Structures are given as structure tokens and as C-alpha cells.
């Protein structure tokens, strides 16, 4: 069993891990955006937008749920999802 202090720290780490993923999302979207100098076709760019949004959204949701669960455990509230 993990101590409450460690649960609190891990909760903050999981919540903070979402920020770099959002940065990665912005970089990938900018790379996929068509421009006059070149880039992807608009249809392929749209598919990339959808794929990146679903992937980053799902990973962010999982990280935030882990963060909430660890925060609850740090307070001593053991609830099942």
C-alpha cells in the first residue's frame, strides 16, 4: 500500500503529465496543417486532426482519472469506480 503523501505526489504528477501531451498535440496539429509552402492534403490533414484528437483526448482522460483516484486515496476515501 502506498502512503498518503506518495499518493498525493503521484496525483499531482499525473495531472501535470497532461500539459506536455497538450504541447505535443499542438506541435502535431501544426505539422499536419496544409500551408502554401507544402504539407498534407486537406483530406489527409482532417484525418490526422481526428486521430490526434482522439488519441490525446483518451490519454488525457486516463491520466486525469488516475490523478483523481490517487487524490481520493490520499484523503483516505477508498471508492471503486
Q: pLDDT tens digit string along 49-77?
A: 999 999 999 999 999 999 999 999 898 88
User: How many residues does the structure list for the chain?
Assistant: 81
Query: Residue 30 pLDDT > 70, yes or no?
Result: yes
Ranges of each domain in the chain = 4-74
Contact 71, 5 (CB under 8 A): no
Where residue 81 falls among pLDDT bands split at 50, 70, 90? low
pTM: 0.80
Residue 79's SS3 state is coil
CA gap 23, 44 in Å, rounded: 21
CA gap 71, 27 in Å, rounded: 30
Amino acid at each position: 500500500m502506498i502512503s498518503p503523501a506518495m499518493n498525493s505526489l503521484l496525483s499531482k504528477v499525473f495531472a501535470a503529465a497532461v500539459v506536455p501531451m497538450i504541447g505535443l498535440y499542438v506541435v502535431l496539429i501544426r505539422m499536419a496543417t496544409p500551408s502554401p509552402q507544402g504539407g498534407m492534403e486537406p483530406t489527409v490533414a482532417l484525418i490526422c486532426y481526428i486521430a490526434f484528437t482522439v488519441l490525446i483526448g483518451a490519454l488525457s482522460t486516463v491520466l486525469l482519472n488516475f490523478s483523481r483516484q490517487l487524490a481520493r486515496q490520499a484523503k483516505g476515501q477508498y471508492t471503486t469506480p
